[in-house]
Amino acid sequence: MKNNNTNRRWGKIRLTAKGFTAIFILILALMFLADIAEPDKSFSERENRYLAEKPTLSAAHLLNGTFETDYETYIDDQFLWRDGFVNLKGLSEAMLLKGENNAIIFGKDGYLFNKYLTLPDQYEKNINAIEQFAQNYPEIPIHVLIAPNSYAVLDQKMPEGVMNVDEIAVLNETKQMLESGSTNLDCIETASVLNAHEEAYLYYRSDHHWTTEGAYWAYTAYCKAEGIEPVSLSAYTPHEVPGFYGTLYASAGRLNGDPDVITYYDIPGAYVTLSGEGPLPLYDLSDADGRDKYGLFLYNNPSQMTVFSGKEGVQPLSDEKKTRLLVIKDSYANCFLPFLTAHYDEMEVVDLRYFNRGISALMEEDWDAVLILYNFIGFSEDNNLIKLMH
């Protein structure tokens, strides 16, 4: 060992064991110092979340270990060249021919998909909650629309042999179960109409939502189920918001195609009120310039809002009085509901995740129907549907 101390060459530099040690001491010391010196950031645009801050030291937290855990999270979140390291990992994964990163699968034609291998128990709990809800209000028709996620519809774009949850099969089973169990419940099946338009731009490539066009085709399925005439898409004026990088892109850490384009349609006359404030326009275009562009639809999930069709001559379901729909929903409804303004004068829109009251007080009002609209993954993981029973 001793004699080859100096006679190894690397280029023209002789590297000794001392020099070797020095290199690694330098790496460690510089990174240590630079990491400490680097000012903390409070928000990560890319991850769309607040980063952990330095925890305050207290004896109690130190002893029960929460200080240590928080401190580790803080070090992780605030680490030097965080974005660069995240990219380096993405690069390494790509070189390993990994078809995924962070549970996002790279599909064909630039599509990113969720990896969703297990149906959580929460799904059944939520279905039971809906069933219970329907039994509590037997005189009100309840429409349930659980939208399949992109991977379940665009199976041509999915890599072969991913053993994701078969959403379509689960939804069909649920439909049978719910409709045979209650008389005032119907499940709106959207998979076939979406499948029939598989070539269209139904889902965002880089985001977990459906596009406005996807929502439109689901809307036609809704109309068919309720026996109303859908308005043709060409009746509306479209507007485009380009450069949309969605949530799947944020998770995957890289895009394998172009950014998405969001389309929204003018609905003349329609407006919303937000906790009594308003009228406000249907679309919040201030979001169109930000990162979270999908937020332009219905103000990005307020706990409660009212959507008004705002005009005479909507196709009334009943001629005598205003038609009123109660919508219980997640963000898949946001680009879907504008189409329903053609059929309902007033929609009360509730997002149970942020709605901290029971639903029973609302149910005392006079509703023509209730629409429960979620996307499949969101629905299976949401533990707020219990609020339907209170």
Partner 1 sequence: MVFSSLIFLFRFLPLALLAYFLAPRFLKNGVLLVISLFFYAWGEPRYVLIMFISIAVDYIASGGIERNRSNPIRKRLFLALSICTNLGLLLGFKYSNFLIENLNAAFGLAMAPIAITLPLGISFYTFQTLSYSIDVYRGEVPAERNLIDFGAYVCLFPQLIAGPIVRYVDIRKALKSRTVDFEQIESGIGLFILGLASKVLIANNAGMLWDDIQKIGFGNLSLPMAWLGIAAFTLQIYFDFGGYSLMAIGLGRILGFEFPRNFDDPYAAKSVTEFWRRWHMTLGSWFRSYVYIPMGGNQKGFPRQVFNLLIVWFLTGFWHGASWNFVFWGLYFFVFLVLEKLFLLKWLNRHTIAAHVYLIGVVMVSWVIFAITDIGGIGLYLQKMFSGPLTGEGLYYFKSYGLTLILGALFSTPLTKKWYAQLKARRGVFALTLSVIFFVCVSYLVGSSFNPFLYFRF
327: helix, coil or strand?
strand
β-strand pairing of 304-308 with 346-350: antiparallel
Compute the least distance from the CB of residue 231 to partner 1, in Å.
27
Structure tokens at 16: 């000794």
User: Considering only residues 137-176, where is the footprint of partner 1 by CB under 8 A?
Assistant: 159-163
d(CA 298, CA 335): 8
Residue with smaller CB distance to partner 1, 253 or 338: 253
Q: Rank residues 106 and 216 by Cβ distance to partner 1 and give the closer one.
A: 106
Interface of this chain with partner 1, residues 45 to 104, rule: CB under 8 A: 46-49, 62-63, 65, 68-69, 71-73, 75-77, 79, 82, 85-86, 88-90, 92, 96-100, 102
| CA 206 distance to own-chain centroid | 11
Shorter beta-carbon distance to partner 1: residue 174 or 334? 334
Question: Tokens standing for 370?
Answer: 């209730």
- What H or E segment, with its residue span, contains residue 24? helix 17-37
CB of 315 to partner 1, least distance (A): 31
Pair 370, 141: CB distance under 8 Å: yes
Q: Closer CB to partner 1, residue 116 or residue 217?
A: 116
Within 113-132, the residues that bind partner 1 by CB under 8 A are 115, 117-118
Which CB sits closer to partner 1, 163 or 361? Answer: 163
Rounded distance, CA 243 to CA 370, Å?
A: 35
Q: Which is nearer to partner 1, 42 or 318 (CB)?
A: 42
**Residue 310 engages partner 1 in binding (rule: CB under 8 A):** no
Site for partner 1 in 332-361 (CB under 8 A): 353
Least distance (Å) from partner 1 to the CB of residue 42?
14
User: How many CB atoms within 10 Å of residue 369?
Assistant: 18
Q: What is the CA radius of gyration of the chain?
A: 26
Q: Please state, in angstroms and rounded to a whole number, the distance separating the CA atoms of residues 278 and 272.
A: 7
CB atoms within 10 A of CB 266: 13
Furthest-apart CA pair in the chain: how many Å?
102
With contacts defined by CB under 8 A, name the span among 169-177, 186-194, 257-265, 374-382 that binds partner 1: 374-382
- Comparison of 190 and 331: residue with beta carbon closer to partner 1: 331
CA angle, 48 then 109 then 194, to 5°:
85
In the complex, minimum distance from the CB of residue 276 to partner 1, in angstroms, rounded to a whole number: 24
Binders of partner 1 among 23-52, rule CB under 8 A? 23-24, 27-29, 31-32, 35, 46-49
- Touching partner 1, residues 243-302 (CB under 8 A): 247, 250-251, 253, 292, 294-295, 300-301
> Measured between alpha carbons, how far is 151 from 165 in angstroms, rounded to an integer?
10
Q: Output 186 or 287, the one with its CB closest to partner 1.
A: 287
What is the DSSP code (8-state) at residue 386?
G
Residues 170-209, interacting with partner 1 (CB under 8 A): 208
